[in-house]
Structures are given as structure tokens and as C-alpha cells.
Amino acid sequence: MYKHIPVILICLFFVQCEKGWLNEALNPAVAGCNISTACNYNPDVNQFDDSCEYISCLDCLGYANGVAVADSCGTCDASPLNDCTQDCANVWGGTAVADSCGNCSASNIACELDCMGAWGGTAVVDT
């Protein structure tokens, strides 16, 4: 009778490995999202809990965990090298430039040099 006790204990041990406390200790439950296209994808998940998110990590191009951002002019890309700049009227991507007279305008109205050499001056040559 006592010879069978070690065999019984070993059998009980293996049964617990299959479904019981030992299996839970060796392979703990990891709940979460195991769908690879989701923003919160976790490859270690072994208990799907319907918590997948698809919108929270999309960049402005619609890619999950993407790096594209919209710049001040509304251009969406991943390159900070082509970001737009402010013109002299503080308009992002604007076309206004300061002319020689210091006027900020998007038009091509020329600032004229008067006879005294002053840009936008009012001096005229007497005749």
C-alpha cells in the first residue's frame, strides 16, 4: 500500500500541471488585446478581454503608432524639415514679405527710392 503513495503523488502533481494552481503559477493570465492591428496590442496576452483600441494612437495619416504630425500649415508628414514658416504678417505659410520700406505685404507693390536715397521717402527733385 505504501509503495503506491509516491506514484499517486506524482500523478496528482501532473494533473495539477494540466489544470490547476501550478499551471496558473507557471503561466499567469495576461488579459488584454491580442489583435496586432490595434493600438494597444500586446503579444503576451493569453486572455482576450475585448479592450482593443484603434483610434487613440493613429497619426494624422491614419497609421497606428505612426510618426506623422500636422504642421502649422496643416501639412501632415513625418519630416520636420519641410515645416512651413510664418511670414511678416504672422501668417503660417503666408506670402507676405517686408519690402525695403519696412511694409509687410503679400502684393508686389514696389517701395520706391526718393531722390534723397530714402526708401519710401517723399523728397522730389525741384525743377
Q: Are residues 49 and 62 in the same domain?
A: no
- Provide block-wise average pLDDT over 10 residues at a time, the chain (127 residues): 69 60 75 90 92 87 86 84 83 83 73 76 76
Q: Are residues 42 and 65 in the same domain?
A: no
C-alpha to C-alpha distances, 17 to 13, 24, 29, nearest whole angstrom: 6, 9, 15
Q: Are residues 49 and 61 in the same domain?
A: no
- The contacts of residue 37 (CB under 8 Å, 6+ apart) are 54, 64
Report how many domains make up the chain.
3
Q: Are residues 110 and 69 in the same domain?
A: no
For residue 72, give its domain range: 56-83
Q: Are residues 97 and 119 in the same domain?
A: yes
Parallel, antiparallel or unpaired: strands 31-32 and 47-48: parallel
Q: Are residues 29 and 69 in the same domain?
A: no
pLDDT score of 58: 87
C-alpha cell at 84: 512651413
Instruction: Give the closest residue to 92 by CA, choosing from 119, 111, 73.
Output: 73
Q: Are residues 70 and 89 in the same domain?
A: no
Q: Are residues 49 and 91 in the same domain?
A: no
Q: CA-CA distance, 122 to 103, in Å (whole number)?
A: 16
pLDDT score of 26: 75
Q: Are residues 75 and 97 in the same domain?
A: no
Instruction: Give the closest residue to 46 by CA, choosing from 26, 64, 16, 20.
Output: 26
Note every long-range contact of 45-54, with CB atoms under 8 Å and residues 24 or more positions apart, other chains counting: none
Q: How many CB atoms lie within 10 A of CB 29?
A: 8
Q: Are residues 32 and 77 in the same domain?
A: no
